[in-house]
C-alpha cells in the first residue's frame, strides 16, 4: 500500500556549488507522486524542523526552482546543529504532527548520522517513515562513494585558481602558497595538480593532511624547487598536521572551536602567512605571497562542473525514487562504473555516518609532497565539459646582437 504523507527536505553543513541541484531534484521528483500531499523545505536544516519553520515548496514555481538549482549555497539555509537523541525526538514529534512520511537530508557524514537516529526513533515508535541521506561535501570524504556531489565543482574552482596562480607566479616569480580547505582529506588540495600542464608548471609541491607535515622538510622542498625553477608554487591543505596530529596552524593561532569541537581552520589567513614568514626568514627569499582560497571554494557563483550539476540533481531524484517507490531507507552513493559513467545505489546509513574517507595511497607520491597520475586520471572526468586550459607562447628566441 502507498504511504501517504508529506515530504520534508533539508540541507545541512557547509554549502556547495550544487547542493541546490539535489534539493530541486528531490523536490521536483517528489511532487510527481500522488501519495505525496505536500513537499516542505525545512529552513536552516534540522533547526527548522524542530521550529516547524517550513517553506511549502509545493507552491514554488518550476522556473524559480530551476534558477535556484544553478545558484550556489544552501537555498533552504543551513545549520551546524548536530542533533543528539533528544533533539531527534523533537524532530520526530514534528514529523508526526505534520504527517511527514518522507525525510531527505542533504549533507555530509554528520547529516547521515542525524538521519540514522531519526530513523531509529521512527522504528521504535512503529511510525511508518522513510528517511534518506543525500550526499554532499566538497571534502569528498564520504565512505562508499567514488566521489561526492559538491567536490567536483570545488575541485574545478581550486584547479582554475591554481592555473591562474601558476601563470601569475611565472610572470612575477617568487614563492606563492595557496591554502586549500580540507581538515582531514586532501582531495580538494590535490585538485590543484590539474594546473600542471607544461613541464615547469606548478603547483610544484602539494601537502595534504594524509601525510605528516614537517616544517624542515617543507623548507628543503621549497628551496630545491626554487633553485631549479627560480620560483615555487605550493598547494597546502588547511588541515596539515605534525607528527603528533597537531594542526600546523594551531601551533600559531589561539582561536575558538566550532560547535563540532573542531579548531577553526577556515576563515583566517593565518596558515598561509605563517608558512610565508618561515620561507622569508629561513630561506631568505624575498618575494613570498600566500592566498587562502577560503569560502570562495564552496560558494563562488559561476564555477561549476557540468558533471557535478547533473549528478547532484540525480542523487536528489534518486532519493525520492528510492523512498517513495521502493519504500527503503539509507544513503545514496555514487559508484563509478566506467570512464566515465556512474550508477547510484543505496547503502546503510551506518556505513556513511561519522566516518571519514581519506586519499588512498596510490593517489599520493612517495615523498608525500605531490599527487600521482592515478589521482589526475581519477579527477579529470569529474571536472566536466568546460574545464578551461592555459596556453603558453612557443615562439623561438630571437638572436641577440649586442651581447650574443
Which residues are designated catalytic? 139
Please identify which residue in the block is written with the cell numbers 577553526: 264
CA dist 373 and 198 (Å) reads: 15
Residue 78 binds its own copies (CB under 8 A): yes
Contact (CB, 8 A) for 188 and 302: no
The CB-of-321 to its own copies minimum distance in angstroms stands at 22
- 242 lies in the site for its own copies, by CB under 8 A: no
Q: What angle (nearest 5°) sits at the alpha carbon of residue 279, between those of residues 273 and 284?
A: 130
> For the chain, how far is it from start to end, CA to CA, in angstroms?
89
Q: How many residues does the chain have?
A: 404
Distance between CA atoms of residues 154 and 166, nearest Å:
18
How far does CA 25 lie from the centroid of its chain? 19
Q: Supply 18's cell numbers.
A: 550544487
CA 85 centroid distance within chain: 27
Number of residues that bind its own copies (CB under 8 A): 86
Of the candidate spans 72-80, 209-217, 314-322, 325-333, the one that interacts with its own copies by CB under 8 A turns out to be: 72-80
Instruction: Determine the interface stretch with its own copies among 136-144, 184-192, 317-325, 390-398 (rule: CB under 8 A).
Output: 390-398
Q: Which CB, 167 or 358, lies closer to its own copies?
A: 167
Nearer to its own copies, 121 or 210 (CB): 121
Q: How far is the CB of 347 from its own copies (least distance, A)?
A: 27
Closer to its own copies by CB, 53 or 242: give it.
53
User: Does residue 95 touch its own copies according to CB under 8 A?
Assistant: no
Question: Which residue lies nearer to its own copies by CB, 38 or 313?
Answer: 38
Does 215 contact its own copies by CB under 8 A?
no
- Cis-peptide into 203, omega within 30 deg: yes
Cell numbers at residue 114, please? 542525524
In 10 A of CB 212, how many CB atoms? 14
Residues 248-267 that bind its own copies (CB under 8 A): 256, 266-267
35, 62, 64, 327: which one binds its own copies (CB under 8 A): 64
Site for its own copies in 153-212 (CB under 8 A): 160-161, 163-165, 167-168, 170-172, 176
Told to check if 269 binds its own copies by CB under 8 A, we report: yes
**Peptide bond before residue 275 is cis, with ω within 30 degrees of 0:** no
Smaller CB distance to its own copies: residue 158 or 342?
158
Amino acid at each position: 500500500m502507498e504511504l501517504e504523507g508529506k515530504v520534508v527536505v533539508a540541507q545541512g553543513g557547509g554549502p556547495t556549488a550544487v547542493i541546490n541541484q539535489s534539493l530541486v531534484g528531490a523536490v521536483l521528483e517528489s511532487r510527481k507522486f500522488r501519495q505525496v500531499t505536500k513537499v516542505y523545505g525545512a529552513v536552516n536544516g534540522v533547526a527548522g524542523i524542530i521550529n516547524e519553520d517550513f517553506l511549502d515548496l509545493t507552491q514554488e514555481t518550476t522556473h524559480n526552482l530551476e534558477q535556484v538549482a544553478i545558484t550556489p549555497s544552501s537555498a533552504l539555509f543551513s545549520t551546524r546543529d548536530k542533533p543528539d537523541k533528544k533533539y531527534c525526538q523533537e524532530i520526530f514529534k514534528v514529523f508526526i504532527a505534520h504527517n511527514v512520511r518522507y525525510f531527505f537530508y542533504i549533507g555530509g557524514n554528520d547529516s547521515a548520522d542525524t538521519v540514522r537516529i531519526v530513523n531509529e526513533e521512527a522504528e521504535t515508535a512503529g511510525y511508518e517513515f522513510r528517511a534518506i541521506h543525500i550526499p554532499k561535501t566538497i571534502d569528498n570524504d564520504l565512505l562508499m562513494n567514488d566521489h561526492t556531489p559538491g567536490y567536483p565543482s570545488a575541485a574545478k574552482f581550486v584547479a582554475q585558481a591554481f592555473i591562474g596562480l601558476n601563470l601569475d607566479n611565472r610572470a612575477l616569480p617568487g614563492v606563492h602558497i595557496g591554502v586549500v580547505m580540507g581538515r582531514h582529506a586532501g582531495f580538494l588540495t590535490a585538485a590543484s595538480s590539474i594546473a600542471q600542464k607544461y613541464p615547469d608548471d606548478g603547483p610544484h609541491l602539494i601537502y595534504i593532511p594524509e601525510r605528516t607535515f614537517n616544517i624542515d622538510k617543507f623548507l628543503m622542498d621549497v628551496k630545491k624547487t626554487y633553485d631549479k625553477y627560480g620560483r615555487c608554487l605550493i598547494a597546502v591543505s588547511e588541515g596539515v598536521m605534525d607528527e603528533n596530529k597537531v594542526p600546523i596552524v594551531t601551533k600559531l593561532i589561539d582561536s575558538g572551536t566550532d560547535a563540532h569541537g573542531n579548531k577553526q581552520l577556515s576563515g583566517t589567513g593565518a596558515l598561509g602567512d605563517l608558512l610565508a614568514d618561515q620561507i622569508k626568514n629561513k630561506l631568505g627569499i624575498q618575494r613570498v605571497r600566500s592566498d587562502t582560497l577560503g569560502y570562495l571554494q564552496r560558494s563562488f557563483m559561476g564555477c561549476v562542473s557540468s558533471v557535478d550539476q547533473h549528478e547532484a540533481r540525480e542523487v536528489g531524484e534518486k532519493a525520492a525514487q528510492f523512498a517513495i517507490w521502493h519504500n527503503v531507507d539509507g544513503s545514496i552513493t555514487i559508484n563509478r562504473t566506467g570512464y566515465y559513467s556512474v550508477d547510484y545505489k543505496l547503502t546503510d546509513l551506518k556505513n556513511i555516518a561519522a566516518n571519514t574517507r581519506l586519499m588512498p595511497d596510490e593517489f599520493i607520491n612517495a615523498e608525500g609532497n605531490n599527487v600521482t597520475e592515478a589521482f589526475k586520471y581519477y579527477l579529470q572526468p569529474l571536472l566536466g565539459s568546460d574545464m578551461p586550459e592555459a596556453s603558453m607562447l612557443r615562439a623561438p628566441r630571437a638572436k641577440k646582437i649586442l651581447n650574443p
